[in-house]
Chain A
Amino acid sequence: MTPTQKKVLEWPLLILILWLSQSMEISLLRLPGPLGSFHIPPVLIVYLALTRSWGSLTLLAFVFSYLGSTSVSHSASIYIASQVWTALATKSVATALALEGRPQFTMLVVGSHIVSRLLTHVLLAYLGQNADVFSFVSYTLIGTLPAALLGWLLFPLFMEWDRYFGHEADDSRELNPDLIR
């Protein structure tokens, strides 16, 4: 497949995979009890925070959080805002601490999960719809488990995707892609 064909194919394929994963995350990928479900767009956004420049990260975080907002029932505006802020905060941390690699990525996914939950909780309070604090703290901590698992599993797939679609050559990364293993 030529690079041009790959460029044409990438976005439709990405949306198809996102839709398929969203079908699964509202049905099969739900975990028992209060563990919630495997929600893929936030993990993808953390990967973008590690590998993309500030400008393209902001744009892609808006796009992916908009696509992901259809599988949550609270305000889409709040979901999008909290995901974009989390992406930017994650990039700040990753850049400052020069984080790279699979274990660091998993830790970033956990950290960004906590930050995005905190932001969502505060923003929902603005609409008068926040759950109580005990619920927020307990479910945030419980939710770190599926988030970490998803981060660990998806990291090699994201890297393979980038390599196949030639993003290493396209993007002026701020981190050294050769060190990402």
Chain B
Amino acid sequence: MAIGRWWGRNRKALLVGVLFVLPFAPLLFARVELPRLNIYEKIHAFFVHPVAEGATNALDGVSVLWTRYLALVGTSRENDALKKENAESRRRILELEEVDRENERLKKLVAIPDLEKFEGIAGRIIGQDAAFESLGFYLNLGSEEGIRERMPVVTSDGIVGTVWRVYRHSSVFLALLDPAHDVDGLVVRSRARLIVEGKGKPLLARLKYLDRSEDIRVGDEILTSGLDGVFPKGLRVGFVVKVDRPRAGVTQDAELRPAVDLGRLEEVLVLRKVPPVSVAPVSGAR
């Protein structure tokens, strides 16, 4: 009787309490590795991503019309500068080809196995994550084009991110600045190893697990170390812009500005591993 009266008085408050506890239910799955792509996600990608691609292309069309036909001021001057730059680049390529040939000869002599080789699949950015908390980009390449999860995404300036979700004709990659994205890197000057982790939307990433005794300075260039099993060795990650050595502790903190401007991404390359070819040592080599 008393319980009935108590229930009658508090029924609404209890129901509201239960409603506030309900959102804990999805959190139980936050750390569980469920099969990533459920049917709804596949259907959603099938309908939504082509429309997003069409919208991005239409917007780019307007932008091209403006930049190529309506705003040609300074094009001639720019053309002259590019011709000079092109000539210098050709000279540099010839030099590097010679270095490459010499390198191949030396590798055969000492029988060093080849580093993993990658080939690039060019793709276009068709959209960007709607949330503030993450930094994902939508790409017009999917499993049909040979894209798989955890493939590295790069531009000519450096690394951009890692493929995270793959649909049939589209995919999502997490950018270098996303807090869930890590890259194993090394300092070019001192060869110190570190982890580059995203900080969210700001233009900087943080450098983790950097031993206090390591020599690192503002302006140092960071490359990929090739030890994370995702990125090939030697790709540019960015430049150190801040170093902070706390009074206590065994590590030091540093911040990095990525080499790639993520605000201006349009086309990227997704790198795919080429099956290795074994190198036989030259007979008589020591």
User: Which among A58, A66, A73, A131 is the interface contact of B136 at CB below 8 angstroms?
Assistant: A73
Interface residues of B in 50-69 (CB under 8 A from A): 51-53, 55-56, 59
Q: Which of B30, B126, B138 has the most CB of A within 10 A?
A: B30
B: interface residue count bin: 35 or more
User: Which among A58, A70, A124, A126 is the interface contact of B44 at CB below 8 angstroms?
Assistant: A70
Contact in complex: A73, B200 (CB < 8 Å): no
Contact in complex: A131, B19 (CB < 8 Å): no
- Chain A's nearest CB lies how many Å from the CB of B122? 19
User: Which among A19, A130, A131, A134 is the interface contact of B48 at CB below 8 angstroms?
Assistant: A19
A99–B128 Cα distance when bound, in Å, is 34
- For residue A52, CB closer than 8 A to chain B, the reply is no
Contact in complex: B180, A129 (CB < 8 Å): yes
- Chain B's nearest CB lies how many Å from the CB of A125? 10
Q: Which of B28, B48, B172 has the most CB of A within 10 A?
A: B48
Complex interface: chain A residues within 8 A of B15 (CB): 54-55
Complex interface: chain A residues within 8 A of B26 (CB): 76-78, 80-81, 84
Contact in complex: A84, B22 (CB < 8 Å): yes
Contact in complex: B56, A132 (CB < 8 Å): no
What residue of chain A has the Cβ atom nearest to residue B126's Cβ?
A27
A140–B127 Cα distance when bound, in Å, is 21
A129–B131 Cα distance when bound, in Å, is 14
Contact in complex: B174, A134 (CB < 8 Å): no
Complex interface: chain A residues within 8 A of B126 (CB): 26-27
Interface residues of A in 68-102 (CB under 8 A from B): 70-82, 84-85, 88
What residue of chain A has the Cβ atom nearest to residue B43's Cβ?
A19
Interface residues of A in 95-113 (CB under 8 A from B): none
Contact in complex: A71, B129 (CB < 8 Å): yes
A122–B164 Cα distance when bound, in Å, is 23
Contact in complex: A80, B23 (CB < 8 Å): yes
What residue of chain A has the Cβ atom nearest to residue B164's Cβ?
A73
Contact in complex: A54, B51 (CB < 8 Å): no
Contact in complex: B51, A79 (CB < 8 Å): no
A77–B127 Cα distance when bound, in Å, is 22
Main secondary structure of the interface of B (DSSP, over half): mixed
A39–B129 Cα distance when bound, in Å, is 10
A73-B164, A81-B24, A131-B201 known; A37-B130 Cβ under 8 A: yes
Complex interface: chain A residues within 8 A of B19 (CB): 54-55, 58, 88
- For residue B135, CB closer than 8 A to chain A, the reply is yes
User: Which among B59, B133, B134 is the interface contact of A27 at CB below 8 angstroms?
Assistant: B59
A25–B126 Cα distance when bound, in Å, is 11
- For residue B178, CB closer than 8 A to chain A, the reply is yes
User: Which among A23, A72, A117, A136 is the interface contact of B129 at CB below 8 angstroms?
Assistant: A72
A81–B172 Cα distance when bound, in Å, is 23
What residue of chain A has the Cβ atom nearest to residue B135's Cβ?
A73
Contact in complex: B129, A123 (CB < 8 Å): no
- Chain A's nearest CB lies how many Å from the CB of B182? 11
- For residue A51, CB closer than 8 A to chain B, the reply is no
- For residue B6, CB closer than 8 A to chain A, the reply is no
Contact in complex: A127, B128 (CB < 8 Å): no
Q: Mark B13-40, 1 if CB is under 8 A from A, else 0.
A: 0011001101110111111000000001
- For residue A9, CB closer than 8 A to chain B, the reply is no
Contact in complex: A75, B51 (CB < 8 Å): no
- Chain B's nearest CB lies how many Å from the CB of A62? 8
Contact in complex: B199, A132 (CB < 8 Å): yes
A19-B47, A73-B134, A135-B199 known; A123-B59 Cβ under 8 A: no
What residue of chain A has the Cβ atom nearest to residue B203's Cβ?
A34
Contact in complex: A39, B52 (CB < 8 Å): no
- Given pairs A54-B15, A73-B172, 4 additional interface contacts (CB within 8 A): A24-B55, A73-B136, A84-B26, A123-B27
Chosen A-B contacts, 13 in total, with CB atoms closer than 8 Å, are A27-B59, A34-B201, A36-B132, A37-B128, A54-B15, A72-B131, A74-B131, A85-B20, A88-B23, A131-B133, A135-B199, A135-B200, A140-B132
Q: Which residues of A contact B (CB under 8 A)?
A: 19-20, 22-28, 30, 33-34, 36-37, 39, 54-55, 58, 66-67, 70-82, 84-85, 88, 117, 120-121, 123-124, 126-127, 129-132, 134-136, 139-140, 143
